[in-house]
Amino acid sequence: MKKILILGGTTEARQLAGQLAARASVVLSLAGRTESPVAQGVPVRTGGFGGADGLAAYLREMRIDLLIDATHPYAAQISANAAQAAHTTGTPILALRRPGWQPVEGDRWTQVDTVGDAAQALGSAPRRVFLALGRQEVTAFEAAPQHHYLIRSVDAVEPKLAVPDASYLLARGPFREAEERALLEKHRIDAVVSKNSGGEATYGKIAAARALGIEVVMVGRPALPDVASAETVEALAAIVNQFGVDHFL
Ligand code: NAP
């Protein structure tokens, strides 16, 4: 059986692993950021490889036939490492690149490049802000301590944010629009800060903000390496299944 390494940490990576497991020997790689990740259904390895060179060494040592980058669109470092390691080892690579959301009629988006810019874009007057960001990213908002923050994350934010007024919620998506709307209303939120993750699982807050006329400060995507890609799990699985792993060798 051919060996496929999937770089994951996303729902799509888990689904893809499930779809490919019947045809190939699949290993899913997680960074190890989440304390209790959901069951992935295939063999998992956890933790960094040690940069592009470490990943290249792993690809050689494990005799990986196909590398699939199915990481989150904001995980730019691992995607760059994957492209480089594939190149240096001559390992075929495919990427799952979920398209970003586009603003539609009624959306009030302020588009910024970084979380630091998002903290600035909230302005100087105190606001009630929902941060739907990873726990590593929320520290940028210590630069704007005048706002009230509602922070939702999968794992607890430790240490807590050095701002006078923040509350914390632990939850794992998917989040539906009706639940998100109820949350925004309950906490009287007037600005949502979000990454442009794309996909259905976290779109509820964007739709809810539109329905309530709330501003969304949207942090734009980082640049990712140019590798052959598909937009959905089904399309990527179809490429692999149609041609077989041999096609990429
Ligand atoms: P990153 O900044 O691109 O990666 C930082 C380092 O973490 C990489 O250089 C690598 O370490 C290690 N790493 C990342 N993903 C890995 C994987 N799948 N397997 C093994 N090592 C990995 O990534 P990040 O933003 O910290 O995200 C970490 C993981 O969380 C990713 O797998 C991503 O799919 C998932 N995730 C990220 C976000 C987000 O918004 N960034 C959201 C949801 C899920 P070495 O250099 O030592 O190999």
* C-alpha 76 – ligand 1 centre gap (Å): 8
pTM over 0.85: yes
Closest CA to 150 of 121, 180, 123: 180
pLDDT of residue 249: 47
| CATH number assigned to the domain covering 109-219 | 3.40.50.2000
Mean pLDDT by 10 residues, the chain (249 residues): 94 93 94 82 94 98 97 96 98 95 98 97 98 91 98 92 96 95 98 95 96 98 96 94 64
pLDDT of residue 2: 92
Query: Residues of CATH 3.40.50.720 domain(s) within the chain?
Result: 3-99+223-248
Amino acid type, 140:
A
Measured from the CB, is residue 30 less than 6 Å from ligand 1?
yes
Measured from the CB, is residue 73 less than 6 Å from ligand 1?
no
* C-alpha 84 – ligand 1 centre gap (Å): 15
Q: Rounded CA gap, 7 and 79, in Å?
A: 9
Q: Which residue's CA lies nearest to atom 26 of ligand 1?
A: 75
Atom of ligand 1 nearest to the CA of 55: 48
Question: SS3 breakdown of the chain: % helix, strand, coil, rounded to 5?
Answer: 35, 20, 45
| CATH number assigned to the domain covering 3-99+223-248 | 3.40.50.720
Residue 22, classed as helix, strand or coil, is coil
Residue 235, classed as helix, strand or coil, is helix
Tell me whether the omega of the peptide bond preceding residue 174 falls within 30 degrees of 0, making it cis.
yes
Q: Which residue's CA lies nearest to atom 10 of ligand 1?
A: 48
Query: Residues of CATH 3.40.50.2000 domain(s) within the chain?
Result: 109-219
Provide the 8-state DSSP code for 74: T
